[in-house]
Chains A and B, each alone.
Chain A
Amino acid sequence: MYEIRIHSRGGQGGVTAARLIALAAFRDGKHATATPFYGAERRGAPIVAFARIDENPIRIYSQVMNPDLVVVLDRTLVPVVKVLKGLKPHGTVLVNSGHAVTLDHQRVHHVDLTGIALAEDLVIAGEPVLDTPVLGAIARLGVISLASATSAIAEMFTDPRNVTAAERAYRELVL
């Protein structure tokens, strides 16, 4: 089973990103679940969301404790939340950042999702949309296929710029 934990702030789309990952994995022919962990339910509050992907039906409802992939949509969470907690020994970390990032002496993958969203004019209520571009970056990591990622995005959102942003994040991810 491949397990993903997404850190974001309320309003940034972490919960939607988890749902998009599950939908894309489902389009890839896998079993998948997406679970939000609702805490404060406030804009700006730290939010955690989980996704699981497996060849078999998934029976686990508890939180992801040992993720294979940690996604951080907001770098300002790093000093606040232990984003690397429980990460598997050869686990992957993806951070929304325009420059190289080191977390706990570990080099992580980065892509400027905020920059992509602003360049594509994907802004809702003053917040850049991060949940659709991040799907492209996750596809580049091989977790889901790009075709399924874009089809999942198109299924949930009518604005084609969401797909464009995801394709851009796929290309621009720094491995």
Chain B
Amino acid sequence: MKVIATGNYAVAEAVKQASPAVIAAYPITPQTEIVERIAQFVTHGDFPCDYIPVESEHSAMAACIGAAATGARTFTATSSQGLLYMHELLHWAAGARLPVVMANVNRAVGPPWNVWADHTDALSQRDTGWLQVYAATAQEAYDATLMAFRIAEDWRVLLPVMVNLDGFLLSHTMQDLETVDPGSFIPPLHLPHAIDTGHPAAYAPLTGPKDYYRFRWDMERSMRDARGVIAETEEDFAGRFGRRYGMTSEYRCEDAEVLVIAMGTLAKEAEVAVDRLRVEGTRAGVLRIRWFRPFPKLDLAGREVVVIDRDYSFGFGGVLAHSLCSTARIELYSVIAGLGGQEVTHGDIASFVRERKDGEEHWFGVKDDV
């Protein structure tokens, strides 16, 4: 069905269709509409669900972990400080190999207090063992949420998935959305290590130096296998519903001499900048990173690259820029822009490309004399 919806409502619709057995919810701006909308669905009996209004994000993730350990499909949503409050349990969900699905509405971390879009919240959780995907439209947030359940629950993966959408820019912007009937697209969850009171077992016991690394290696092997599972899932999704995705999304990249690389809504806006640059005679393209974990394998040889980070790792640099440097071994122009919802237009993005200087870092808006 074709409707018009915000990114938040798109996620809530997809969750309804995936029908998790347990949802733990704690409100935080700009995510609140997701759990509010789902609460309405549950109240109206749209799908059977134990909806647990918890007292904190830490408890939200703990409730998802407990429920998931019994083999139940689980979901929660959060943002910013809420995500950070979950930090310890993000590691736990991944290490316990529980396919929790979570929407994270990307928002800046305080202080100073700020509720607007920023990727530092999610990127600071990159080493927790969660898969991370970043949406650029309400449609993509919806589709990625549906796919997240199937990917997380696949026995070759069995890791939690975080679906990211930009605070306000995507979470609160109304746009076209086509909902689908997922039918058999998401098979029922069968967790191989689900708690079974008929066959008692110890979970996560003390594991010594002789064996611990084996569990870590198993996680990494699954993360590597996840690339294939993502491709398979996206292929099946395209076959059934006609929308095709990938680890990355390319716009006018075939003959591009310079690539703009970014995530989320900034990368969508960059398409408009690229159209303008092409009129001026610059062969530009947009390479949008969709999956940040596992990180895509990229071949950027012979291209100039302008990376826009809506995040920062202090004392080091843009997280996306440095991820690209370490995987693709390239020189690039690193732009730090859009922090805490800083306004970045397609005109600004075109300027980044025109003024690019390989190997340098530029903080948008910061004057040289400051």
Which residues of A line the B interface, CB within 8 A? 18-19, 22-23, 26, 31-38, 57-63, 65
The B347-366 residues at the A interface (CB cut-off 8 A) are: none
**Cβ-defined contact, B268 with A35, below 8 A:** no
- Inter-chain contacts of A65 with B (CB < 8 A): 345
**Taking each of B166, B175, B345, which has the highest tally of chain A beta carbons within 10 Å of its own beta carbon?**
B175
Residues of A within 8 A of B265 (CB): 61
- Distance of A46 Cα from B265 Cα, bound (Å): 25
B172 interface contact, C-beta 8 A: yes
Bound: A35/B6 CA distance, A: 9
Which residues from A are CB-within-8-Å of B4?
22-23, 26, 32
Q: Is the CB of B268 within 8 A of A61?
A: yes
- CB pair B346 A62 closer than 8 Å: yes
Contact call B172/A35, Cβ cutoff below 8 A? yes
Q: A60-B345, A62-B346 are in contact. List 5 more A-B contacts (CB 8 A).
A: A22-B174, A31-B176, A35-B169, A58-B175, A61-B170
A38 touches B168 (CB 8 A): yes
In terms of DSSP, what is the predominant structure of the interface of chain B? mixed
Closest to A65 in B: B345
Which one of A34, A36, A61, A62 has the greatest number of beta carbons of chain B within 10 Å?
Answer: A61
Given contacts A26-B4, A32-B4, A38-B115, contact A62 B172 (CB under 8 A): no
Q: Report the minimal beta-carbon distance from B191 to chain A, rounded to whole angstroms.
A: 38
**Majority SS of interface residues in chain A?**
mixed
Contact A33 B174, CB 8 Å, known A61-B169, A62-B346: yes
Number of interface residues of B (CB under 8 A): 21
Q: Which residue of A lies closest to B251 (CB)?
A: A59
Q: Which of A26, A59, A60 contacts B176 (CB 8 A)?
A: A26
Q: Among B4, B170, B343, find the residue whose CB has the most chain A CB atoms closer than 10 A.
A: B4
Which of the residues A18, A23, A38, A60 comes within 8 Å of B269, measured between beta carbons?
A60
> Can you name the residue of chain B whose Cβ is closest to the Cβ of A63?
B343
8 Å CB interface, B319-356 against A: 343-346
Please, how many angstroms separate the alpha-carbon atoms of A2 and B253 in the complex? 28
Partner of B271, one of A31, A34, A36, A59: A59
Known contacts A62-B345, A63-B343; A32 and B175 CB within 8 A of each other? yes
B272 CB within 8 Å of chain A: yes
B173 touches A (CB below 8 Å): yes
Residues in A whose Cβ lies below 8 Å from that of B271: 59
Q: How far is the CB of A33 from chain B (nearest CB, A)?
A: 5
15 contacts across the A-B interface (CB closer than 8 A):
A18-B174, A23-B174, A31-B175, A33-B173, A35-B174, A36-B168, A36-B172, A37-B168, A57-B176, A59-B271, A61-B173, A61-B265, A62-B269, A63-B343, A65-B345
Q: Bound state CA distance, A148 and B107, in angstroms?
A: 35
Contact A60 B272 (CB under 8 A): yes
Chain A minimum-CB-distance residue to B174: A34
Instruction: Give complex CA distance A26, B175 in Å.
Output: 9
Contact A35 B173 (CB under 8 A): yes
Give the residue name and chain of the B residue nearest to A38 (CB): B168
Contact A59–B172 (Cβ < 8 Å): no
* A72→B174 CA distance, assembly (Å): 21
B344 proximity list for chain A (CB < 8 A): 62
* B167 → A minimal CB distance (Å): 10
- Which residues does chain A contribute within 8 Å of B115, judged by CB atoms? 38
The answer for the CA separation of A38 and B173 in the assembled complex, in Å, is 11
With A and B bound together, what is the CA distance between A131 and B176 in angstroms? 21
Q: Which B residue's beta carbon lies closest to that of A25?
A: B4
Chain A positions within 8 Å of B269 at CB level: 59-62
Instruction: Kindly report which residue of chain B lies nearest to residue A21, judged by CB atoms.
Output: B174
Distance in angstroms between the alpha carbons of A62 and B117 in the assembled complex: 12
A60 proximity list for chain B (CB < 8 A): 269, 272, 345-346
Q: Which residue of A lies closest to B4 (CB)?
A: A26
A62 to B346, CA, bound (A): 8
